[in-house]
Structure 1
Amino acid sequence: MSAPGAEAPSPAAQEPPGGALLAARGLAKSFGPTTALHSASFDIDPGETVAIMGASGSGKTTLLHCLGGMLRPDQGWILYQGRDLKAMPESERSELRREEFGFLFQTGGLVPELSCLENTALPLRLNGAGRKSAHRSAEEWLERLGVAETAGQRPGEVSGGEYQRIGLARALITEPAVLFADEPTGALDSLNEEKVMQLLVTAARSSNAAVVLVTHEARVAAYADREVGVRDGRTRDLVPGGGE
């Protein structure tokens, strides 16, 4: 790991661990005078689920946004399949987010004016798929996640648990290599939390997608293969139960 304040060695000088799908070293990110990340590191293998744990304000969501190409770190590098996200122009990172990354957030982010079927099909439509084929794939994913009956409804007409399962269907419909899930069960009761997490992990593993899961709940992190803690913008590996 780089010394505080120093730029991490470039990917050419420091290769990520063998087999890692996504790897980052020496990430630093500030918003004005506030430091959100300080020399943070991360690795995830294909098909692996890694929980990023930390208290509110610890930097875990900023880390996820950097790994997902939504934020450009001030320092450090992020390698995805041999490509450095930090060095990519925004057009390439946007294409990567559309085609190879999937995103599921606490609020779901569904478009209220569209039906649940249209919301699920939206990523395929944005990638140029025809309406009929996109809707057929959306129907299959809604059925797979147990919410086929919501297809004709709008997001405001479904329950919280259904809303998140529709959001999960939309996140997975492009068969992403990496699914980024930021507090995906934060607005759910314990019963729906369990249902959504079981579906998320099962669906991701069936397509060999890696899952980067941000949470502050130990029972949610228990679904992961491994846990990484974030505190004051720094990362550390955790053992089951939250210890170092």
Structure 2
Amino acid sequence: MPLSPATAPRPAAADGPSGALLAATDLHKSFGLTPALTGAGLELAPGELVAVLGRSGSGKSTLLHCLAGLIRPDSGTVSYRGQDLGRLSDARRSALRRTEFGFVFQFGQLVPELSCLQNVALPLRLNGVRRRAAEARAREWLERLEVGGHADKRPGELSGGQGQRAAIARALVTEPAVVFADEPTGSLDSLHSEQVMALLGAAARESGAAVLLVTHDLRVAAYADREIVVRDGRTDGTAGGRP
């Protein structure tokens, strides 16, 4: 399957004052004496797919974790729908991650004791959805991601590409506004990387989710609408991009 940008239209609704759904301004973050972010910033529009590029240790994953509310920056502002995440309680930030954010990680991070179907249904169950309804919706997403036939298998029985498709289904099953994907193809070969990216892009566009994608792979980044480069903890602006 060739790696190419999807052509489906994206929603253009504005949320924050600048029209951004998610925005970071002048972020600084250090771990001990080691600086990870030194003034990074970006904006993500509703329905947009943005790739964050950078070498290992450049700060790109730390930037994603700050934007997702997983860690707090030492200074600077992260806002979602115009609301400063730094002013929210831990409980409210956790609720946002459960209901409005979706996550895809490099190795999927599926729960090994659960079936593929149960893994995808898990975010819905945590949000109080009844088991039958949660599993019905999970099965629909597994079918969309072309792994419906593996619903009863456990993660250890799936190939790397199948596991990542299940992880994408889990990220999208709650119909989040933003999907954070941290090196989602980093553990896959080139063929499966292309397949996973094509499915992630198409599924996100179909659901209307914005995607913030961290990657070091230029071929994967080429799938995005826009590319941002992180160097030494700073965002150098936009590179490339799609019309």
Compute the TM-score of the two structures, normalised by the length of structure 1: 0.91
Output one character per residue of 1:99-128: Cα deviation in whole Å (capped at 9) or x when no partner. 000000001110000000000000000000
State the AA in 1 paired with 2:215: T
Q: Report the secondary structure of 1:237's partner residue.
A: strand
Residues of 1 paired with 2:39 and 2:99: CA distance? 29
Once the two structures are superposed, the pairs formed by residues 1-244 of structure 1 within 5 Å of their partners are 18-240=18-240
Residues of 1 paired with 2:232 and 2:174: CA distance? 34
Q: CA RMSD in A?
A: 1.2
Aligned residues: 227
Whether the 8 Å CA contact 2:16–2:82 is kept in 1: the answer is no
Residue 56 of structure 1, CA deviation: 0.2
Q: Report the secondary structure of 1:236's partner residue.
A: strand
Residue 86 of structure 1, CA deviation: 1.2
Whether the 8 Å CA contact 2:16–2:81 is kept in 1: the answer is no
Residues of 1 paired with 2:16 and 2:91: CA distance? 25
**Tell me, which stretches of 5 or more residues in structure 1 are unaligned?**
1-14
Whether the 8 Å CA contact 2:147–2:162 is kept in 1: the answer is yes
Residues of 2 paired with 1:115 and 1:209: CA distance? 26
Output one character per residue of 1:63-92: Cα deviation in whole Å (capped at 9) or x when no partner. 000000000000000110121111111111
State the AA in 2 paired with 1:234: R
State the AA in 2 paired with 1:106: Q
Residues of 1 paired with 2:123 and 2:17: CA distance? 31
Structure 2 CA distance for partners of 1:196 and 1:29, relative to 1, 3 Å:
same
Compute the TM-score of the two structures, normalised by the length of structure 2: 0.91
Output one character per residue of 1:3-35: Cα deviation in whole Å (capped at 9) or x when no partner. xxxxxxxxxxxx966311001101000000000
Q: Report the secondary structure of 2:188's partner residue.
A: coil
